[in-house]
Amino acid sequence: MNKEFCTYKQALALKELGFDEPCFGRWIEPTELSISAPSDDKYCQKQHEVTWTALALLFQQAFRFFREKYQLQHEIVYDMSDDLTNKVYVYTVFGTDRSEEYKTYEEAELECLNTLIKIVKSK
């Protein structure tokens, strides 16, 4: 199930940006994702106070956070490449240009989230 969660680095960044909602687990260090039932929320939230740990949020939770807290809407679409030779995934964050092209949805999703983090950090 690890692929359903944002990376450790992204989770730390989101924590910095104010993400603090119930999750299905926590990152203890870059390689250690501990998945748990949300009934363990209090424990997770407490762990969240420790600098090097972060709540392990799902991609859908991260994107909702940006929509609701920062009004940043994104789209990831499967489309023809610019040279019309392949089908590729591209993303756009509302009001910005189309991203570069990615072979997989997961790559596009990861980079889209990094872009959202960058946009908010640069404000």
Partner 1 sequence: MQQEFISYDQALALKDLGFNEKSLAYWFNETPLNPEGQCLVYYRKPYDNVGITNGIIREYGWAPLYQQSFKWFREKHGLYVDIFVDDNKTFGFMITHFTSEGRVDSPVKYNHITYEEAEQACIDKLIEIVKL
Interface ranges with partner 1 (CB under 8 A)? 1, 4, 22, 24, 35-40, 58-61, 64, 67, 73, 75-80, 87, 94, 105
In the complex, the smallest distance separating the C-beta of residue 77 from partner 1, rounded to whole angstroms, is 5
Nearer to partner 1, 3 or 51 (CB): 3
The distance of closest approach from Cβ of residue 72 to partner 1 in the complex, given in angstroms and rounded to an integer, is 11
* Nearest distance in Å: CB 17, partner 1: 19
Asked if 19 and 65 count as a contact pair (C-beta separation under 8 A), the reply is yes
Q: State the CB neighbour count (10 A cutoff) for residue 100.
A: 10
